[in-house]
Amino acid sequence: MAEREGKSGGADWKGSRETGSLLPWGIIPWRVSICCLRNQQPLNRIIDKSVKIVELSVDENKISGNLVENLSKGSNMLLEYGAKNFFCFKEWISISFRLGAGCPQYISQEKQVSNVVCIKGANGSGKTNALKILAFLREFTVNSFNYKPEATIKTDSFFGNNENTEFYIEFEQSESTYKYELLLNKGHVVSEILFKKQKRYSKVLERNSEKIIMRTNEFKDIDIIKLRKNASIISTAHQYEVKSFAPIYDFFKCILTNLTYFGLSERSYDVGVVSKLYHGDPKIFDFVKTIIKKCDIGISDIQIQTRREEDGAEVFFPIFCYEIEKNEKCLTFYTQSSGTKSLYLQLGIYKVVLDIGGVLVLDEFDINLHPHILPVLLNVFMDASINKNNAQLVFSTHNSEILDYLGKYRTVLVNKEENQCYGYRLDEIPGDIIRNDRPLAPIYNTGKVGGVPRV
């Protein structure tokens, strides 16, 4: 059992856990993510943001059903993850979704693992980097086999030091519980270790540099692969079609994010491509319309219409309908508020993650949105009648009101002292300053529990 130490609001505390040129990792424009989650049948051509034709996979008209059928079998849950010597975190930062025995039943709803975790803190305190851990792990375990052999792994240690960068992640997939540990140094793999839990974790595979030094019979089909120093064994096993690694690969494949190596993506969503996908999947479109109409009470309907360009290409675009003096009036996408535009372009990915039981990682997910809308978005993950596949959301925000909605068991604060960042969940703070029957936002705003700028 390894220990991590830090500070919370000035008080000492301890927590624990069980035990090159590359394209910037992380961002997966959601219109592409939907179609790339599973290699199946040839897809109709989809246009990317560079207006080039991209050959993807999965029939875009059968997205929801195929993904749920193929990727949502069994229990798929992120339990905990963390990193050390990663960007601004010199020591361990751990983010746990486990609610713990002390969490009251009216909060846990008889669940042991939360579907939502919020990360808050001042500017420059490490919120984005705490989310980048997941974005990096997703990129490395899924795509690193495709890196050029001479490429380095794109990640940074604390101020460029020469120590190992360490990662771990615990998750449930296909009714099994795994822990994956990764050590990197100077852009190459030092080790990868996979544990599987019966009553307790047992090591089932270990890789050092480019050699597999240990594996159980369950993973004997891994013997056929050839490892590279810049590629994950999980990504490599997928390329060799090693069946024993399929559940593990599928878990990481279902992590979607708006982060790159450089932070929050500056890419804009193409309204035409998003509209085309909504047109092809009525279930996703109905989900989007329901939430938008709830958040913008003036909109009575949204319709997808098409037109032909001079070159014959079919262009899809939305029309927003309003009832004005018992008559229907329509406006274009470009006349909508920034908040409505954001919801239209991004809500589709919420529905996809809900359908596949995936993990959605969003930095500053509340940009352009009124604070009262945020509980509506969080509720789609917290309401079991909507979130039937146990999808999860981990996000950062500067909104303080959300603390009172999520409470101390689902909120992580990050701080920085002497240019080192660290984090802790609010229920780890000793004493009774944080109580279930007391609003959190006023206490947070005083700075007594940390996570606020010193101005």
pLDDT tens series, the chain, 455 aa: 444 444 333 333 333 333 333 334 444 443 334 444 433 332 222 223 222 222 222 233 333 334 444 444 446 899 999 999 999 999 999 999 999 888 988 888 889 999 999 999 999 999 999 999 999 999 999 999 999 999 999 999 999 999 999 999 999 998 899 999 999 998 899 999 999 998 899 999 999 999 999 999 999 999 999 999 999 999 999 999 999 999 999 999 999 999 988 888 766 678 999 999 999 999 999 999 999 999 877 999 999 999 999 999 999 999 999 999 989 999 999 999 999 999 999 999 999 999 999 999 999 998 889 888 999 999 999 999 999 999 999 999 998 888 889 989 999 999 999 999 999 999 998 878 888 778 888 788 888 788 877 76
Outline where DSSP puts E strands in 296-410: 299-308, 314-324, 327-332, 359-362, 392-396
Residue 34 near residue 60, CB atoms below 8 Å: yes
pTM of the full structure:
0.84
Q: Burial letters for 392-416: b for 16+ Cβ neighbours within 10 Å, e otherwise?
A: bbbbbbebbebbebbbbbbbbbbbb
Q: Say if CB 249 and CB 142 are below 8 A apart.
A: yes
How many Cβ atoms from other residues are within 10 Å of residue 259's Cβ?
A: 27
Q: Beta-carbon neighbour count of residue 177 at 10 Å?
A: 16
Q: Where are the domains of the chain?
A: 1-296+339-455, 297-336
Please state the length of the chain.
Answer: 455
Fold classified for 1-296+339-455 = Rossmann fold (3.40.50)
